[in-house]
Structure 1
Amino acid sequence: MPRVLLAEDDEAIASPLARALTREGYEVTVAATGPQARDKAIGGDFSLLILDLGLPEMDGLDVCREVRAARPGISVLMLTARTDEVDFVVGLDAGADDYVGKPFRLAELMARTRALMRRHQPAGNALDVSGIKIDTRARRVTVDGEDVALANKEFELLRFLMERAGELLSREEILAEVWGDSDLRGSKTLDMHISWLRRKIGDEVAGNRARRIVTVRGVGFRFDPE
Protein backbone atom coordinates (compact mmCIF):
# COMPACT_ATOMS: atom_id res chain seq x y z
CA MET A 1 0.00 0.00 0.00
CA PRO A 2 1.51 3.39 -0.99
CA ARG A 3 2.38 5.50 2.05
CA VAL A 4 1.54 9.20 2.39
CA LEU A 5 2.77 11.57 5.10
CA LEU A 6 0.27 14.38 5.66
CA ALA A 7 1.89 17.35 7.44
CA GLU A 8 -1.03 19.57 8.46
CA ASP A 9 -1.66 21.16 11.87
CA ASP A 10 -5.28 22.18 11.25
CA GLU A 11 -7.41 19.26 12.48
CA ALA A 12 -10.39 20.48 10.45
CA ILE A 13 -8.32 19.92 7.30
CA ALA A 14 -6.13 17.00 8.38
CA SER A 15 -8.87 14.59 9.49
CA PRO A 16 -11.14 14.71 6.42
CA LEU A 17 -8.14 14.78 4.10
CA ALA A 18 -6.61 11.74 5.81
CA ARG A 19 -9.93 9.89 5.46
CA ALA A 20 -10.15 10.79 1.77
CA LEU A 21 -6.59 9.57 1.13
CA THR A 22 -7.32 6.34 3.00
CA ARG A 23 -10.39 5.76 0.82
CA GLU A 24 -8.13 6.18 -2.21
CA GLY A 25 -6.06 3.25 -0.97
CA TYR A 26 -3.13 5.04 0.69
CA GLU A 27 -1.67 4.37 4.12
CA VAL A 28 -1.71 7.79 5.80
CA THR A 29 0.39 9.14 8.67
CA VAL A 30 -0.32 12.63 10.04
CA ALA A 31 2.27 15.05 11.44
CA ALA A 32 1.14 18.25 13.17
CA THR A 33 4.42 20.19 13.47
CA GLY A 34 7.37 21.00 11.26
CA PRO A 35 9.93 18.92 13.21
CA GLN A 36 7.56 15.93 13.28
CA ALA A 37 7.05 16.17 9.54
CA ARG A 38 10.78 16.42 8.88
CA ASP A 39 11.70 13.51 11.12
CA LYS A 40 8.94 11.20 9.90
CA ALA A 41 9.62 12.00 6.23
CA ILE A 42 13.34 11.39 6.56
CA GLY A 43 13.00 8.29 8.72
CA GLY A 44 9.98 6.67 7.07
CA ASP A 45 9.33 4.90 3.78
CA PHE A 46 6.88 7.39 2.28
CA SER A 47 6.20 7.88 -1.42
CA LEU A 48 4.55 11.29 -0.95
CA LEU A 49 4.72 14.16 1.53
CA ILE A 50 1.70 16.47 1.51
CA LEU A 51 3.15 19.50 3.25
CA ASP A 52 1.39 22.56 4.64
CA LEU A 53 3.68 25.58 4.47
CA GLY A 54 2.28 27.10 7.68
CA LEU A 55 3.36 24.42 10.16
CA PRO A 56 4.20 25.39 13.75
CA GLU A 57 7.74 25.21 15.15
CA MET A 58 9.36 24.92 11.72
CA ASP A 59 8.41 26.55 8.42
CA GLY A 60 7.23 24.23 5.68
CA LEU A 61 9.85 25.55 3.28
CA ASP A 62 12.62 24.55 5.69
CA VAL A 63 11.01 21.14 6.14
CA CYS A 64 10.93 20.71 2.37
CA ARG A 65 14.58 21.66 1.93
CA GLU A 66 15.77 19.24 4.63
CA VAL A 67 13.58 16.39 3.45
CA ARG A 68 14.59 16.90 -0.17
CA ALA A 69 18.29 16.84 0.79
CA ALA A 70 17.92 13.62 2.79
CA ARG A 71 15.23 11.85 0.70
CA PRO A 72 15.52 12.98 -2.93
CA GLY A 73 13.14 10.25 -4.10
CA ILE A 74 10.09 11.37 -2.13
CA SER A 75 7.46 13.46 -3.92
CA VAL A 76 6.36 16.68 -2.20
CA LEU A 77 2.97 18.32 -2.67
CA MET A 78 2.70 21.68 -0.91
CA LEU A 79 -0.47 23.12 0.56
CA THR A 80 -0.42 26.87 0.95
CA ALA A 81 -2.77 29.70 1.86
CA ARG A 82 -0.21 32.11 0.39
CA THR A 83 -1.46 33.33 -2.96
CA ASP A 84 1.50 35.37 -4.16
CA GLU A 85 3.21 33.87 -7.20
CA VAL A 86 6.59 34.55 -5.60
CA ASP A 87 5.68 32.22 -2.72
CA PHE A 88 4.82 29.45 -5.17
CA VAL A 89 8.13 29.89 -6.97
CA VAL A 90 10.02 29.82 -3.67
CA GLY A 91 8.19 26.60 -2.75
CA LEU A 92 9.14 24.94 -6.01
CA ASP A 93 12.73 26.13 -5.63
CA ALA A 94 12.78 24.55 -2.17
CA GLY A 95 12.13 21.18 -3.80
CA ALA A 96 8.36 20.80 -4.05
CA ASP A 97 7.03 18.88 -7.05
CA ASP A 98 3.63 20.57 -7.07
CA TYR A 99 1.44 22.82 -4.95
CA VAL A 100 -2.25 23.37 -4.23
CA GLY A 101 -3.62 26.64 -2.89
CA LYS A 102 -6.02 26.79 0.05
CA PRO A 103 -8.93 26.49 0.05
CA PHE A 104 -8.62 23.56 -2.36
CA ARG A 105 -11.09 21.26 -4.07
CA LEU A 106 -10.69 17.70 -2.84
CA ALA A 107 -11.02 16.27 -6.37
CA GLU A 108 -8.17 18.44 -7.59
CA LEU A 109 -5.92 17.50 -4.67
CA MET A 110 -6.64 13.78 -5.21
CA ALA A 111 -5.82 14.16 -8.89
CA ARG A 112 -2.49 15.80 -8.16
CA THR A 113 -1.76 13.11 -5.56
CA ARG A 114 -2.40 10.34 -8.09
CA ALA A 115 -0.22 12.08 -10.66
CA LEU A 116 2.71 12.24 -8.22
CA MET A 117 2.14 8.67 -7.07
CA ARG A 118 2.40 7.39 -10.64
CA ARG A 119 6.11 8.21 -10.45
CA HIS A 120 6.47 5.36 -7.99
CA GLN A 121 4.76 2.73 -10.12
CA PRO A 122 6.98 -0.06 -11.38
CA ALA A 123 8.65 0.21 -14.79
CA GLY A 124 6.73 -1.25 -17.69
CA ASN A 125 3.39 -0.42 -16.10
CA ALA A 126 0.63 -1.34 -18.54
CA LEU A 127 -3.15 -1.40 -18.71
CA ASP A 128 -5.17 -4.03 -20.59
CA VAL A 129 -8.97 -3.68 -20.47
CA SER A 130 -11.69 -4.60 -22.96
CA GLY A 131 -9.34 -5.12 -25.89
CA ILE A 132 -7.46 -1.87 -25.30
CA LYS A 133 -3.84 -1.96 -24.18
CA ILE A 134 -1.85 1.02 -22.95
CA ASP A 135 1.90 1.04 -22.47
CA THR A 136 2.15 4.03 -20.15
CA ARG A 137 5.90 4.48 -20.54
CA ALA A 138 5.99 4.22 -24.32
CA ARG A 139 2.64 6.08 -24.52
CA ARG A 140 1.49 3.46 -26.99
CA VAL A 141 -2.15 2.43 -27.40
CA THR A 142 -3.48 -0.61 -29.25
CA VAL A 143 -7.13 -1.44 -29.83
CA ASP A 144 -7.83 -5.08 -30.69
CA GLY A 145 -4.18 -5.41 -31.68
CA GLU A 146 -4.07 -2.33 -33.91
CA ASP A 147 -2.02 0.78 -33.03
CA VAL A 148 -4.09 3.90 -32.42
CA ALA A 149 -2.59 7.42 -32.38
CA LEU A 150 -3.95 9.62 -29.60
CA ALA A 151 -3.29 13.26 -28.82
CA ASN A 152 -1.84 13.98 -25.37
CA LYS A 153 -5.11 14.80 -23.59
CA GLU A 154 -6.89 11.90 -25.30
CA PHE A 155 -4.18 9.57 -23.98
CA GLU A 156 -4.41 10.94 -20.43
CA LEU A 157 -8.21 10.76 -20.53
CA LEU A 158 -8.19 7.13 -21.71
CA ARG A 159 -5.56 6.19 -19.16
CA PHE A 160 -7.53 7.69 -16.28
CA LEU A 161 -10.76 6.00 -17.35
CA MET A 162 -9.01 2.64 -17.70
CA GLU A 163 -7.17 2.96 -14.40
CA ARG A 164 -10.58 3.33 -12.74
CA ALA A 165 -12.42 0.84 -14.99
CA GLY A 166 -15.88 0.00 -13.70
CA GLU A 167 -16.07 3.15 -11.56
CA LEU A 168 -18.39 6.06 -12.22
CA LEU A 169 -16.20 9.15 -12.47
CA SER A 170 -17.71 12.60 -12.14
CA ARG A 171 -16.98 15.29 -14.69
CA GLU A 172 -15.22 17.27 -11.96
CA GLU A 173 -12.92 14.34 -11.10
CA ILE A 174 -11.97 13.81 -14.73
CA LEU A 175 -11.34 17.49 -15.42
CA ALA A 176 -9.22 17.83 -12.29
CA GLU A 177 -7.18 14.73 -13.15
CA VAL A 178 -6.63 15.27 -16.87
CA TRP A 179 -6.75 19.07 -17.20
CA GLY A 180 -5.88 20.06 -13.65
CA ASP A 181 -8.87 22.40 -13.54
CA SER A 182 -12.31 21.29 -12.37
CA ASP A 183 -13.63 24.79 -13.20
CA LEU A 184 -13.83 23.65 -16.84
CA ARG A 185 -16.91 21.60 -15.94
CA GLY A 186 -19.22 24.11 -17.62
CA SER A 187 -17.35 23.93 -20.92
CA LYS A 188 -17.60 21.41 -23.76
CA THR A 189 -13.92 20.43 -23.48
CA LEU A 190 -14.54 17.04 -21.86
CA ASP A 191 -17.46 16.14 -24.14
CA MET A 192 -15.42 16.91 -27.25
CA HIS A 193 -12.50 14.79 -26.08
CA ILE A 194 -14.81 11.91 -25.17
CA SER A 195 -16.31 12.08 -28.65
CA TRP A 196 -12.88 12.10 -30.35
CA LEU A 197 -11.67 9.28 -28.11
CA ARG A 198 -14.73 7.12 -28.82
CA ARG A 199 -14.20 7.56 -32.54
CA LYS A 200 -10.54 6.52 -32.32
CA ILE A 201 -11.12 3.43 -30.18
CA GLY A 202 -14.08 2.28 -32.26
CA ASP A 203 -16.88 3.06 -29.82
CA GLU A 204 -18.86 4.92 -32.49
CA VAL A 205 -18.73 2.29 -35.23
CA ALA A 206 -22.21 1.07 -36.19
CA GLY A 207 -22.81 -2.51 -35.09
CA ASN A 208 -19.80 -2.52 -32.78
CA ARG A 209 -19.86 -4.06 -29.30
CA ALA A 210 -21.42 -2.14 -26.43
CA ARG A 211 -19.61 1.10 -25.80
CA ARG A 212 -16.57 0.87 -23.58
CA ILE A 213 -16.97 4.51 -22.50
CA VAL A 214 -20.45 4.92 -21.05
CA THR A 215 -22.11 8.27 -20.36
CA VAL A 216 -24.04 8.54 -17.09
CA ARG A 217 -26.21 11.54 -17.76
CA GLY A 218 -25.85 14.38 -15.30
CA VAL A 219 -22.92 12.73 -13.50
CA GLY A 220 -19.98 11.71 -15.67
CA PHE A 221 -18.49 8.71 -17.45
CA ARG A 222 -17.56 5.08 -16.80
CA PHE A 223 -15.19 2.74 -18.66
CA ASP A 224 -16.89 -0.65 -18.75
CA PRO A 225 -14.66 -3.74 -18.63
CA GLU A 226 -15.96 -6.72 -20.56
Structure 2
Amino acid sequence: MNLLLAEDDALLSDALSAQLREAGFQVEHAPNGAVAEYLLLKQPYDLAVLDLGLPMVDGLTVLRRVRAAKPGLPVLVLTALDSLDDRVAGLNAGADDYLTKPFDFPELEARLRALLRRSKPVSSASEMGPLSFDRDTRRATLRSEPLELSPREWMLLDLLLTQREKVVTKEQINQVWATDRAGGASEGGAGGNNAIEVYIHRLRRKLEGSGLVIRTVRGLGYLLEAEAVVA
Protein backbone atom coordinates (compact mmCIF):
# COMPACT_ATOMS: atom_id res chain seq x y z
CA MET A 1 0.00 0.00 0.00
CA ASN A 2 1.88 3.02 -1.32
CA LEU A 3 0.90 6.27 0.38
CA LEU A 4 1.94 9.87 -0.14
CA LEU A 5 1.91 12.04 3.00
CA ALA A 6 1.83 15.75 2.14
CA GLU A 7 2.52 17.59 5.41
CA ASP A 8 4.77 20.59 6.06
CA ASP A 9 5.07 20.13 9.86
CA ALA A 10 8.33 18.18 10.17
CA LEU A 11 7.61 16.75 13.64
CA LEU A 12 4.11 15.60 12.70
CA SER A 13 5.21 14.16 9.36
CA ASP A 14 8.04 12.19 10.99
CA ALA A 15 5.73 10.76 13.65
CA LEU A 16 2.97 9.96 11.18
CA SER A 17 5.37 8.35 8.71
CA ALA A 18 6.73 6.08 11.42
CA GLN A 19 3.23 5.07 12.60
CA LEU A 20 2.00 4.46 9.06
CA ARG A 21 5.01 2.29 8.25
CA GLU A 22 4.38 0.24 11.40
CA ALA A 23 0.80 -0.19 10.18
CA GLY A 24 2.05 -1.68 6.91
CA PHE A 25 2.05 1.34 4.57
CA GLN A 26 4.94 2.35 2.31
CA VAL A 27 5.19 6.08 2.91
CA GLU A 28 6.69 8.87 0.83
CA HIS A 29 6.71 12.40 2.26
CA ALA A 30 6.12 15.69 0.46
CA PRO A 31 7.00 18.79 2.52
CA ASN A 32 5.15 21.30 0.29
CA GLY A 33 2.42 21.51 -2.31
CA ALA A 34 4.71 21.70 -5.32
CA VAL A 35 6.45 18.44 -4.43
CA ALA A 36 3.12 16.80 -3.54
CA GLU A 37 1.58 17.70 -6.89
CA TYR A 38 4.64 16.51 -8.82
CA LEU A 39 4.82 13.17 -7.01
CA LEU A 40 1.08 12.50 -7.17
CA LEU A 41 1.00 13.12 -10.92
CA LYS A 42 4.17 11.12 -11.61
CA GLN A 43 3.97 8.15 -9.23
CA PRO A 44 1.34 5.39 -8.81
CA TYR A 45 0.09 5.74 -5.22
CA ASP A 46 -2.71 3.72 -3.64
CA LEU A 47 -3.87 6.73 -1.62
CA ALA A 48 -2.80 10.16 -0.38
CA VAL A 49 -3.00 12.10 2.89
CA LEU A 50 -3.03 15.80 2.10
CA ASP A 51 -2.72 18.81 4.41
CA LEU A 52 -4.53 21.90 3.11
CA GLY A 53 -2.10 24.44 4.59
CA LEU A 54 0.89 23.50 2.43
CA PRO A 55 3.50 26.08 1.40
CA MET A 56 4.29 26.97 -2.26
CA VAL A 57 1.06 25.44 -3.61
CA ASP A 58 -1.91 25.19 -1.26
CA GLY A 59 -3.56 21.84 -0.61
CA LEU A 60 -6.88 22.68 -2.29
CA THR A 61 -5.10 23.59 -5.53
CA VAL A 62 -3.08 20.39 -5.40
CA LEU A 63 -6.24 18.41 -4.74
CA ARG A 64 -8.12 19.93 -7.69
CA ARG A 65 -5.25 19.34 -10.11
CA VAL A 66 -4.60 15.78 -9.00
CA ARG A 67 -8.30 14.92 -8.97
CA ALA A 68 -8.59 16.11 -12.59
CA ALA A 69 -5.75 13.83 -13.69
CA LYS A 70 -6.39 10.88 -11.35
CA PRO A 71 -10.11 10.71 -10.56
CA GLY A 72 -9.83 7.30 -8.88
CA LEU A 73 -7.08 8.11 -6.36
CA PRO A 74 -8.39 8.04 -2.75
CA VAL A 75 -7.45 11.27 -0.93
CA LEU A 76 -7.88 12.00 2.77
CA VAL A 77 -7.55 15.65 3.77
CA LEU A 78 -5.80 16.13 7.10
CA THR A 79 -5.91 19.71 8.35
CA ALA A 80 -6.36 22.10 11.26
CA LEU A 81 -9.06 23.95 9.27
CA ASP A 82 -12.22 22.62 10.90
CA SER A 83 -15.00 25.06 10.00
CA LEU A 84 -17.99 23.84 7.99
CA ASP A 85 -16.94 25.99 5.03
CA ASP A 86 -13.44 24.47 5.10
CA ARG A 87 -14.81 20.93 5.17
CA VAL A 88 -17.24 21.65 2.33
CA ALA A 89 -14.46 23.26 0.26
CA GLY A 90 -12.21 20.23 0.74
CA LEU A 91 -14.91 17.74 -0.17
CA ASN A 92 -16.01 19.80 -3.17
CA ALA A 93 -12.42 19.96 -4.38
CA GLY A 94 -12.35 16.17 -4.54
CA ALA A 95 -11.43 14.84 -1.10
CA ASP A 96 -12.82 11.39 -0.26
CA ASP A 97 -12.58 11.99 3.50
CA TYR A 98 -11.74 14.86 5.87
CA LEU A 99 -10.03 14.57 9.27
CA THR A 100 -9.21 17.57 11.45
CA LYS A 101 -6.25 18.03 13.77
CA PRO A 102 -5.73 17.01 16.51
CA PHE A 103 -6.66 13.40 15.87
CA ASP A 104 -5.91 9.91 17.15
CA PHE A 105 -3.82 7.70 14.88
CA PRO A 106 -6.16 4.66 15.15
CA GLU A 107 -8.93 6.78 13.63
CA LEU A 108 -6.67 7.90 10.78
CA GLU A 109 -5.63 4.33 10.07
CA ALA A 110 -9.24 3.13 10.11
CA ARG A 111 -10.31 5.85 7.70
CA LEU A 112 -7.43 5.04 5.33
CA ARG A 113 -8.29 1.35 5.30
CA ALA A 114 -11.94 2.21 4.66
CA LEU A 115 -10.89 4.33 1.67
CA LEU A 116 -8.83 1.44 0.32
CA ARG A 117 -11.76 -0.94 0.67
CA ARG A 118 -14.07 1.42 -1.18
CA SER A 119 -11.65 2.18 -3.98
CA LYS A 120 -11.87 0.02 -7.06
CA PRO A 121 -8.56 -0.36 -8.87
CA VAL A 122 -8.76 0.15 -12.61
CA SER A 123 -8.11 -3.04 -14.52
CA SER A 124 -5.01 -3.08 -16.69
CA ALA A 125 -7.19 -4.16 -19.62
CA SER A 126 -10.28 -2.47 -21.00
CA GLU A 127 -12.69 -3.48 -23.71
CA MET A 128 -15.39 -1.47 -25.43
CA GLY A 129 -17.08 -3.01 -28.42
CA PRO A 130 -14.40 -4.05 -30.92
CA LEU A 131 -11.72 -2.06 -29.06
CA SER A 132 -9.32 -3.85 -26.68
CA PHE A 133 -6.83 -1.81 -24.64
CA ASP A 134 -4.12 -3.23 -22.36
CA ARG A 135 -2.22 -0.75 -20.19
CA ASP A 136 0.41 -3.23 -19.01
CA THR A 137 1.58 -4.21 -22.49
CA ARG A 138 0.64 -0.84 -24.05
CA ARG A 139 -1.17 -2.66 -26.84
CA ALA A 140 -4.47 -1.69 -28.41
CA THR A 141 -6.42 -3.61 -31.02
CA LEU A 142 -9.48 -2.72 -33.06
CA ARG A 143 -11.38 -5.70 -34.50
CA SER A 144 -8.36 -7.82 -33.46
CA GLU A 145 -6.05 -5.67 -35.61
CA PRO A 146 -3.26 -3.61 -33.99
CA LEU A 147 -4.20 0.02 -33.45
CA GLU A 148 -1.17 2.27 -33.89
CA LEU A 149 -1.21 5.13 -31.40
CA SER A 150 1.26 7.90 -30.62
CA PRO A 151 2.07 8.52 -26.92
CA ARG A 152 -0.43 11.37 -26.68
CA GLU A 153 -3.12 9.42 -28.54
CA TRP A 154 -2.52 6.51 -26.17
CA MET A 155 -2.92 8.67 -23.05
CA LEU A 156 -5.99 10.36 -24.49
CA LEU A 157 -7.70 7.08 -25.38
CA ASP A 158 -6.77 5.63 -21.96
CA LEU A 159 -8.45 8.59 -20.23
CA LEU A 160 -11.56 8.37 -22.42
CA LEU A 161 -11.88 4.64 -21.71
CA THR A 162 -11.31 5.02 -17.97
CA GLN A 163 -13.95 7.76 -17.85
CA ARG A 164 -16.23 6.18 -20.43
CA GLU A 165 -19.39 7.06 -18.51
CA LYS A 166 -18.27 10.61 -17.77
CA VAL A 167 -17.34 13.67 -19.80
CA VAL A 168 -13.56 14.19 -20.02
CA THR A 169 -12.64 17.86 -19.82
CA LYS A 170 -9.81 19.61 -21.64
CA GLU A 171 -8.28 20.37 -18.24
CA GLN A 172 -8.13 16.65 -17.46
CA ILE A 173 -6.49 15.93 -20.82
CA ASN A 174 -3.85 18.61 -20.31
CA GLN A 175 -3.17 17.34 -16.77
CA VAL A 176 -2.64 13.80 -18.05
CA TRP A 177 -0.38 14.98 -20.86
CA ALA A 178 1.63 17.00 -18.32
CA THR A 179 2.66 13.74 -16.59
CA ASP A 180 4.53 12.65 -19.75
CA ARG A 181 6.54 15.66 -20.82
CA ALA A 182 9.05 13.54 -22.74
CA GLY A 183 6.35 11.90 -24.85
CA GLY A 184 4.65 15.23 -25.41
CA ALA A 185 7.90 16.85 -26.46
CA SER A 186 8.50 14.12 -29.03
CA GLU A 187 5.14 14.97 -30.60
CA GLY A 188 5.61 18.67 -30.96
CA GLY A 189 5.72 20.28 -27.52
CA ALA A 190 2.97 21.86 -25.49
CA GLY A 191 -0.64 20.91 -25.21
CA GLY A 192 -3.50 23.38 -25.09
CA ASN A 193 -6.98 23.39 -26.59
CA ASN A 194 -5.81 23.47 -30.22
CA ALA A 195 -3.56 20.43 -29.67
CA ILE A 196 -6.40 18.57 -27.95
CA GLU A 197 -8.70 19.17 -30.91
CA VAL A 198 -6.02 17.87 -33.29
CA TYR A 199 -5.56 14.63 -31.34
CA ILE A 200 -9.30 14.14 -30.87
CA HIS A 201 -9.66 14.44 -34.66
CA ARG A 202 -6.89 11.86 -35.17
CA LEU A 203 -8.49 9.40 -32.76
CA ARG A 204 -11.86 9.86 -34.41
CA ARG A 205 -10.37 8.93 -37.78
CA LYS A 206 -8.74 5.82 -36.32
CA LEU A 207 -12.05 4.73 -34.77
CA GLU A 208 -14.11 5.31 -37.93
CA GLY A 209 -16.38 2.40 -38.78
CA SER A 210 -15.83 0.72 -35.40
CA GLY A 211 -19.17 1.71 -33.89
CA LEU A 212 -17.35 3.86 -31.32
CA VAL A 213 -17.47 7.64 -31.46
CA ILE A 214 -15.90 10.49 -29.50
CA ARG A 215 -18.71 12.95 -28.96
CA THR A 216 -18.08 16.63 -28.23
CA VAL A 217 -20.15 17.85 -25.29
CA ARG A 218 -20.24 21.57 -26.00
CA GLY A 219 -18.72 23.66 -23.26
CA LEU A 220 -17.68 20.60 -21.22
CA GLY A 221 -15.41 18.18 -23.09
CA TYR A 222 -15.54 14.80 -24.79
CA LEU A 223 -17.31 11.48 -24.28
CA LEU A 224 -16.41 8.09 -25.73
CA GLU A 225 -19.55 6.11 -26.47
CA ALA A 226 -21.06 3.44 -28.72
CA GLU A 227 -22.61 4.85 -31.86
CA ALA A 228 -26.38 4.76 -31.82
CA VAL A 229 -27.85 2.17 -34.19
CA VAL A 230 -30.74 3.46 -36.29
CA ALA A 231 -33.37 0.78 -36.94
TM-score, normalization by structure 2: 0.52
Q: Aligned partners of 2:149, 2:121: CA distance in 1, in Å?
A: 22
Q: Which runs of 5+ in 1 are unaligned?
A: 1-46
Q: CA offset at residue 162 of structure 1?
A: 0.4
Q: Aligned partners of 1:73, 1:192: CA distance in 2, in Å?
A: 42
Give per-residue Cα distances to partners, 1:170-217, cap 9 Å, x unaligned.
211222233349xx78541211221222222x33xxxx3655211112
Q: Aligned partners of 1:220, 1:137: CA distance in 2, in Å?
A: 27
Taking structure 1 as reference, are residues 106 and 180 closer, same or farther at Cα in structure 2, changes over 3 Å only? farther
User: Aligned residue for 1:219?
Assistant: 220
Matched, 1:108 2:90: no
User: Aligned residue for 2:93?
Assistant: none
User: Aligned residue for 1:12?
Assistant: none
Q: CA offset at residue 127 of structure 1?
A: 0.2
SS in 1 for 2:141: strand
Q: CA offset at residue 51 of structure 1?
A: 2.1
Alignment partner of 2:7 out of 32, 47, 53: 53
The 8 Å contact of residues 107 and 176 in structure 1, kept in 2 or not, is answered as no
Q: CA offset at residue 106 of structure 1?
A: 3.9
SS in 1 for 2:146: strand
**Quick check: 184-193 or 69-78, which moved more?**
69-78
The 8 Å contact of residues 130 and 210 in structure 2, kept in 1 or not, is answered as no
Q: Aligned partners of 1:154, 1:199: CA distance in 2, in Å?
A: 12
Give per-residue Cα distances to partners, 1:17-47, cap 9 Å, x unaligned.
xxxxxxxxxxxxxxxxxxxxxxxxxxxxxx4
Q: Which runs of 5+ in 2 are unaligned?
A: 75-119, 181-189
Cα RMSD (Å) of the superposition?
A: 4.1
User: Aligned residue for 2:148?
Assistant: 149
Taking structure 1 as reference, are residues 135 and 216 closer, same or farther at Cα in structure 2, changes over 3 Å only? same
Listed as ranges, the matches of 1:16-95 within 5 Å are 47-55=1-9, 58-60=11-13, 62=14, 66=18, 74=26, 76=28, 78=30, 80-81=32-33, 88=35
Matched, 1:164 2:163: yes
Q: CA offset at residue 160 of structure 1?
A: 1.1
Give per-residue Cα distances to partners, 1:141-167, cap 9 Å, x unaligned.
001111012111211111111011121
User: Aligned residue for 1:137?
Assistant: 136
Percent of aligned positions with the same letter in both sequences? Answer: 21
The 8 Å contact of residues 170 and 193 in structure 2, kept in 1 or not, is answered as no
Number of equivalenced pairs: 159
Counterpart code for 2:32:
T
Q: CA offset at residue 128 of structure 1?
A: 0.2
Stretches of 4+ aligned residues off by more than 6 angstroms? 96-100
Q: CA offset at residue 71 of structure 1?
A: 7.5
